[in-house]
Structure 1
């Protein structure tokens, strides 16, 4: 790796560490987040504090969750931000957003540069805790961002697209080139805004069941529903809700996936 040490920190590949260094993109991200003094913000993977420092100056307190022990210690002892920061040295996949929000009595605004190796499981975890999140601004691999916003019929449309758009309005904010990071990843990144839907226009009795249906369908995405969902539905059942058994997973709308979920539960 070209950069073994950055600003005195030994970069750990196993944590997917890529540090944003370009001030233009840092400023654009802060502008998009638009932190307010009395809000409760939580940063995922603050690293050496490229975003932390600028957000921290605008709020009363800032919560940061950092898995790297050395970086967590660095932030706890930060000369200017230290007193403002609430630091959790913890794997973000184990962090209970619902419990923390309840204890604070406030919704969370979440932001951060997500490690590529955990971005998808973390997104699914965040969606299950969406009731305590005011919004999210997350930096993701561009390919993941494309999947998040994909529509039916698009090659990027999949389980992640369905679940993400079921829970949130999703807007790409800015694409960031690899050279803006140290070390430079092999792909571009995109900052994405997630606004939880106040009222989900696609209703379902069970999001867990929706997850199961979409997992089964997209697990064999080139097969027809007759084949990929044969353990769930007969042709007659599909036709009863006006869904053709010859459709493929990538051609089924979110509303139709909700219909399928409700049908399965009611059977």
Structure 2
């Protein structure tokens, strides 16, 4: 794990103005071009950044982690609120500007790493306890990154994350609706979740074509349902929603040759569709899989 403690020169560009300019002006001054391949849309509305930090409920003594800080729009208000802040950024070209904007006011550690492959369990051990994550997630990796974070939930107390609005609707959806799917079920199993507020496209640079939503997660003290095997549970959920228009008897055939017997053993009508099942029903189905 490599820690970057000091800002470096950015190709001879002048960073002295980074604390004086607004973010849009700074972006223009440095000639920075957000990378579409990394899903970069910089949050430039400082009022929204402050609102996200306030809504996170973090306390001064908390171990806070920010993913994808970009140019530090969230990092700066976070650094004023907590004593220990760790930020994870993949784009090395942003690190000098980020470090300059953070300054030396608090203990901030910057890790250059891919959050999708990052070991948050190890980070929790390094920091000496559970963590709280606050982030404006890149649109193009938000769903797989959320699943990755769920896999590391043992060291995560809470998460306050910004998503594309339609992804947030899927995360928080209830059974029976068109937005209810694999992501909804997996989140509900391990997290209490709440949609906090929407963020307009004008809060970002470049301006996206979609709205965003901030969502708060808190790890459940106990999972919603008991599971014999988390991998089987995830496979059942993904397979069932993989062909969501089909009945469960047909959608689950890749997992079982006699789906009707399997479903009957779990006391689930084989003519139902995935979007009608509660989390506990998916869990019951997964727990019955090995016995059939």
Pair 1:45-2:68 in alignment:
yes
Cα distance 1:30–1:234, how it changes in 2: closer, same or farther (>3 A)?
Answer: closer
Query: Alignment partner for residue 36 of structure 2, among 13, 28, 37?
Result: 13
Q: Is the 8 A contact 1:44 1:113 kept in 2?
A: yes
Unaligned runs of 5+ in 1: none
Alignment partner for residue 271 of structure 2, among 246, 259, 265?
246
Q: Give, in angstroms, the shift of residue 84 of structure 1.
A: 2.2
SS at match of 1:137: strand
Inter-CA distance 222–58: structure 2 relative to 1 (3 Å threshold): same
- Normalised by the length of structure 2, the TM-score is 0.86
8 Å contact from structure 1 (residues 108, 133) kept in 2: yes
Preserved CA contact (<8 Å) 2:240 2:248: yes
1:138 and 2:174 matched: no
**SS across alignment from 1:87:** strand
Q: Which residue of 2 aligns with 1:262?
A: 287
4+ residue runs of structure 1 moved beyond 6 angstroms?
none
Instruction: Map Cα deviations across residues 132-181 of structure 1 (whole Å, 9 max, x no partner).
Output: 00100000000000001111110001111110111101101110010111
Alpha carbons of structure 1 residues 66 and 246: separation in structure 2 relative to 1, 3 Å: same
CA shift for structure 1 position 70: 1.8
- Quote the Cα distance in structure 2 between the aligned partners of 1:88 and 1:24: 26
C-alpha deviation, 1:37, in angstroms: 1.8
Secondary structure of the residue aligned to 2:81 is coil
The number of residue pairs the alignment matches comes to 266
Contact map agreement 1:72 1:88 (CA 8 A) in 2 = no
Change (3 A) 1:242 1:32: same
Partner of 2:260: 235
Please list the CA deviations of residues 216-261 of structure 1 after superposition, one character each: whole Å capped at 9, or x if unmatched.
1111100011111124243133122220000011111111000000
**TM superposition shift of 1:5:** 4.3
- Work out whether residues 241 and 259 of structure 1, in 8 Å CA contact, stay in contact via their aligned partners in 2: yes
Report the TM-score when normalising by structure 1: 0.94
Unaligned runs of 5+ in 2: 1-24
Structure 2 counterparts to residues 81-120 of structure 1, below 5 A: 81=104, 84-120=107-143
Indicate whether 1:175 and 2:198 are aligned: yes
Q: Is 2:230 the partner of 1:207? A: yes
Deviations 1:167-215 (A, max 9, x none): 1011011100101111111100000001111011311111111111011
Q: Distance in 1 between matches of 2:46 and 2:198?
A: 14
| Structure 2 residue matching 1:153: 3-state secondary structure | coil
Asked if residue 72 in structure 1 is aligned to residue 95 in structure 2, the reply is yes
Cα separation, 1, equivalents of 2:250 and 2:29: 54
Q: Identify if the C-alpha distance between structure 1 residues 113 and 250 changes in structure 2 by more than 3 Å, giving closer, same or farther.
A: same
Q: 1:55 and 1:79, CA in 2 relative to 1: closer, same or farther beyond 3 A?
A: closer
**1:163 maps to what in 2?**
186
Deviation larger for 43-52 or 6-15: 6-15
In structure 2, relative to structure 1, the CA distance for the partners of 1:79 and 1:236 (3 Å cut) is closer
Aligned alpha-carbon RMSD (Å): 1.9
Q: Secondary structure at the match of 2:160?
A: strand
